[in-house]
Structure 1
Amino acid sequence: MLELAAIVLTLTACLAWFNERYVHLPATIGVMVIALLLSLAIQGLAGLGLGAPAAVTRGWVEALDFDSLLMNGMLSFLLFAGALHVDVKKLKRYWLSIGLLATLGVLVSTLLIGFASHWLLDVMGAPVALPWCLVFGALISPTDPVAVLGILRGAGAPEDMEVRIVGESLFNDGVAVVLFTLLVGAAESGESLAGWHAITLFAEEAGGGALFGLVLGYGVHLLMSRVDQYQVEVLLSLAMVLGGYTLATHLHVSGPIAMVVAGLVVGNHAWTHAMSSRTREHLNDFWELIDEILNALLFVIIGLELLVLPFDWNYLLVALPLIALLLAVRGLVVSGPALLARSHFRTGSIRVLTWGGLRGGISVALALSMPAGESRDILLNVTYLIVLFSIVTQGLTIGALVRRVVPGDAGAATPEG
């Protein structure tokens, strides 16, 4: 395991250096694109009869067990680090649209994508049963802001757009994971989810996760307020993430939601009332670095996953209409909150939020965790292609879109509610 970690970390560092020195793409997108090209080159060598590099590299990637690595390890750190730097006061200003997008939006997206993809895949000659199409709808619905945030800031995106994208993505990951788990259980058992039973299970997982995160965050805040030693307080935050996420799984509550809530509590309440300025500086630097390193690792692994997928280029013909479907559904879901709070959405918000709703590593990880079978192969491949399109195409063009559709002299949008 140590050898594998050394290989992946070294490769990530080299790709990050190469991107910074020669390619000059945004960091996370750059390392993923280079890793993807590296995967294609290795497969090309295998096609020429040089199969050893492909066999060795494929063994490394398979040993990583990406879905377990992300869902049971990296995700807790990424969500906590993301929430730690979110200002709750800003989040409250746009609570209505963020709440709708992260909950009702995920549910509506899951249903629309599930039913539409069931019909579309059948028309395309790659039929998948409706229960598994609904599973696909759940895993492809959560958004990932990592690749797009730096670009948005560089393009001068207004605060309300940035806060909505970050706030939605922090919460919809947890909501989508809970929904995915429920739908996979129903698809495997062959039983339909009774409405009230599904609502109860969802409330237990999501609501329990939020409550657990609140208790966890305030508990660590209490411990931090009793000391003034940044090494100890950083260690407490690490213990909270690892121990808290593990305990959440044993309590059968949502670990992702718990980490988001705990991160918001520590990053706002404890930040103000339990830390000295020195501790704040060290804690902030530590978690920013953790966030950047893990995201670089995550995007490199996404690029390398091409080596172990049961891939067929014919899946491109299936993925293209699904990409169009996904964007249409995203636009529809974003339009709902915009119509409800029309006066609080500036010009161009719907287009930016639609195009900025990137899909990332969590979608690939959830697809990899599906039980083996023909449906999994189809959905895994189209998920991977959708994520690649989303990160590369949408990620690299969102800045230009912001500059084109957002008025340069626009002020801050008014708070909702």
Structure 2
Amino acid sequence: MVLKSAIAEEIITNNLKQFLLVLSVSLSVATLPQIFSWFRHIPYTLLLVIVGLGLAFADVRLVTLSPELILFIFLPPLLFEAAWNLKWSELKRDLVPICLYAVFGVVIAIAGVAIVLNQLAGISLTTALLIAASLAATDPVSVTALFRELGVDSRLVTLMEGESLFNDGMAVVAFGFLVALSLGTVELEFQPILVKLFSVVGIGVGVGGFIGFSISYFTQRFDLPLVEQSLTLVSAYSTYLITEDLGGSGVIGVVTTGLILGNFGSRIGMSPRTRIIISEFWEFLAFFVNSIVFLLIGDQISFASLGENLQIIMVTVAAMIVIRAIAIYILTKLSVSITKSEISLPEQTILWWGGLRGSVSIALALSVPTTMPEREKIIATVFGVVLFTLLVQGLTIKPLLEKLNLLGDAPLREQYLELVARHVALERVLQHLQADQRPGIDPDRRYQETLIKGELADLRTKIDKLQDEYPNLQIFITEQLRGELLAIEADTYAEFVKSGRLNKELASMLEDVLPNHQKEA
């Protein structure tokens, strides 16, 4: 008994040391862009992959990357954070193209890549299907982070994030079915496949919806930021585990919970202060998890294995890029014919080239049963393709945005917000100075007032000049004002409901408020 206890303690100590080592390396990489300006041109997650590759080349292995580590520990917080920050109004606007990309895009990707690998690379159909299914899930974390930094149109961000959130679930479901098919535990018949798909998706949406709405109404009864923050964390993991245990898609369950809590629960059950605390917590957690995942992806690369399967990797990369282009352009055309909402050709091109693969693909490849005859080939191919998408596509997305004139006006907005913040701060200083009636400070007060008023006039001139030179800035200002007014209105209703002064359900009131503001926009 004593021996078992000593062994367990040793294992825990070693795991803690490995975790601290990974964390130390990740945080060291995070500081590089602040020390060396050249590194600022590389998205942070890609920089982690490059450092991980350097460690792999030196044969320094930080930790073994298992599918359980990614799927059960890393994936739920990443999915929840993305869903929490995804605005339902924007998602609803582009729900048709997102669903087309996530459902039919996955089917086209699996079928197309598998056929090419089977016919051109001479790989067995079973192996080809598992490689294709592993690579069907997109993971544009580094791309969307770059989009926000550069101020790319929010619609493009929503399309990419929405597709990624939903096609993760579809890819995991498809992969699970193909593994079961190869092991002979299911039959390839249309009706069972359809029933299985609807049950897996239905259970995910059902469990996610139940947990999301339950927590939303529960948090109406109190305002305890740390408790509500903890509830969101528990909901992410519990939704995933419960849904998986019930035979549903944990990915779809977590996405559903995140969407409900981010768009509904945070409005009816959380104060503005609590929402800020929780949003900042999830921003930190996403940064923390991404730091570890992308570093370990690079660190797990086996250069010898990549060399042995280089031909298959090249064929897979070519097939994947061509098939995704076909899927994006065809499905976009279908979406436009249904919704009459245009998606420009440059935007379609970014959606095509920005379809990076990442942690989900790695986890699926690693979860292939050890009894499969070509398991190592599947893992090596998927790792090689993921590496290509992260380094080649990930590093060329910014030049492509510049070429297609899709770069936003983030620096301009940042400059405007800094001027406004300075103006508001000085106005408050002036109000405080004028309200200060202490005897003996009149001469200094008048001097300070003159200085502050002069600075305020200078700031107003700069703000007016910025608005005159960039008329599009007015759209941003208007959107910001509408958002602030809507938030104040929603928070006021929540305050009345919580205090018992209003018996009407807050959800129905917000449903009346939101459409009115959207019509005005």
Q: Name the TM-score, length of structure 1 as normaliser.
A: 0.88
Matched, 1:11 2:25: yes
Select the residue among 26, 29, 32 that pairs with 2:43: 26
Write the letter of the residue equivalent to 1:16: A
Deviation at 1:17, TM superposition (A): 2.6
Deviation at 1:154, TM superposition (A): 3.6
Deviation at 1:211, TM superposition (A): 1.5
**Contact 2:112–2:319 at 8 Å: present in 1 too?**
no
1:243 is aligned to 238
Deviations 1:30-80, CA, capped at 9 Å, x for gaps: 1111111121123xxxxxxxxxxx5xx3xx523xx4211011111111101
Select the residue among 39, 42, 67 that pairs with 2:56: 39
Write the letter of the residue equivalent to 2:26: T
SS of the aligned residue for 2:355 comes to: coil
Matched residues in 2 for 1:294 and 1:393: separation? 23
Matched residues in 2 for 1:269 and 1:72: separation? 26
Deviations 1:323-349, CA, capped at 9 Å, x for gaps: 111011101111122212345112312
Deviation at 1:267, TM superposition (A): 0.3
In structure 2, relative to structure 1, the CA distance for the partners of 1:310 and 1:73 (3 Å cut) is farther
Deviates more, 1:20-29 or 1:309-318: 309-318
SS of the aligned residue for 2:58 comes to: helix
Write the letter of the residue equivalent to 2:113: I
Write the letter of the residue equivalent to 1:223: F
Q: Extract unaligned runs of 5+ from structure 1.
A: 43-53
Aligned residues: 390
Deviates more, 1:14-23 or 1:73-82: 14-23
Q: Which residues of 2 match residues 15-414 of structure 1 at below 5 A?
A: 15-18=29-32, 20-22=34-36, 23-24=39-40, 25-42=42-59, 54=60, 57=61, 60-62=62-64, 65-122=65-122, 127=123, 129-189=124-184, 192-307=187-302, 311-342=305-336, 343-372=341-370, 373-406=372-405
Deviation at 1:138, TM superposition (A): 1.3
Matched residues in 2 for 1:409 and 1:41: separation? 40
Deviation at 1:190, TM superposition (A): 7.6
* Structure possessing the higher radius of gyration over alpha carbons: 2
Matched residues in 1 for 2:245 and 2:74: separation? 18
SS of the aligned residue for 2:137 comes to: coil
Deviation at 1:396, TM superposition (A): 1.2
**Contact 2:368–2:375 at 8 Å: present in 1 too?**
yes
Matched residues in 1 for 2:203 and 2:345: separation? 37
**Contact 1:109–1:333 at 8 Å: present in 2 too?**
yes
Write the letter of the residue equivalent to 1:17: T
Deviates more, 1:373-382 or 1:99-108: 373-382
Q: Name the TM-score, length of structure 2 as normaliser.
A: 0.71
SS of the aligned residue for 1:103 comes to: helix
Deviation at 1:217, TM superposition (A): 0.4
Write the letter of the residue equivalent to 1:61: V
Q: Taking every aligned residue pair, what percent have the same amino acid on both sides?
A: 28
Matched residues in 2 for 1:195 and 1:310: separation? 41
Write the letter of the residue equivalent to 1:80: F
SS of the aligned residue for 1:206 comes to: helix
Write the letter of the residue equivalent to 2:84: L
Matched residues in 1 for 2:369 and 2:196: separation? 22
Deviates more, 1:137-146 or 1:313-322: 313-322
Deviation at 1:303, TM superposition (A): 0.8
Matched residues in 2 for 1:144 and 1:20: separation? 26
Write the letter of the residue equivalent to 1:280: R
Deviation at 1:189, TM superposition (A): 1.6
